[in-house]
Structure 1
Amino acid sequence: MCADRITPEHRSKIMSMIKGKNTQPEMVVRSVCHEMGFRYRLHRKDLPGKPDLVFPKHRLCIFVHGCFWHRHPGCKYAYTPKSRLDFWLPKLEKNVERDADALQALHTRGWRVAIIWECHTKNRELLRTEIQKIFGLSA
């Protein structure tokens, strides 16, 4: 096992600064959706998983997932930590299970659900095309 290069106290401080909402990738998605004329609600607590963007008119929820935290398959950002695997693996697995449960609950309630991955927010034009597909518009 590889030793961590920073102290546990410093690591704790870094981790405590990670936000759950209003992240940079989420803000990019919100900006592009707004530019395209789509209006949304944020983080509705009455819906399973508190989707990042909710489009009631379209019965559509969009989750903006961080590649690392939500284990984006095949993505270079979804790496597995080298230390403290006994901590990280169950934590990351729980995130994936919670995501699946929320998606299923939303589908059961008649909502369409889309996931936009953090790595897809790095190119606004590709993101715009992805959002058009989500809404069923020709790209």
Structure 2
Amino acid sequence: MTSDVRPRTSADHGYVLDDQIGFLLRRAYQRNSTLFLSMVPGNLTTTQFSVMNRLAEDGPMSQNHLGRSVAMDGATTKGVVDRLIARGLLQTRRDPQDRRRHLVSLTPEGVAVIDEAVEAAIRVTEETLAPLREKERETLLKLLTKIS
């Protein structure tokens, strides 16, 4: 048995999927992620890269602070850190200022991996933004920063 009920069309409600911010952001992110996975060495995910890059920039920090600094919830941060520890790229040690807390840091191997990955990530950003003129790139980044 078939139904005569049909979904409303964009002509009915004015909603065009291809014009929606969420849809466009997801497509742009998919393009960037595909480039990232194909260009960045070390078999790193974008979240693993973010964690390692933050540690490279800011030095050892608590797992809680690390997660907040890269906009990840506690459970996700713990999983990422645990996987990177298992790969020998991160390590933890007690905080000498607060014995209850552990600090997460890069291992020497982690330093080597992130140094190489950052060079590739620069190329990923360039490739992602390649269709835009310089002023458009600046505007896009400003606007994305503003809405995030």
TM over 0.5, shorter chain: no
Q: Which has the higher helix share?
A: 2
- Higher Cα Rg, which structure: 2
Under a length normalisation based on structure 1, what TM-score does the superposition of the two structures give? 0.29
Please, what TM-score do these two structures have when normalized by structure 2?
Answer: 0.27
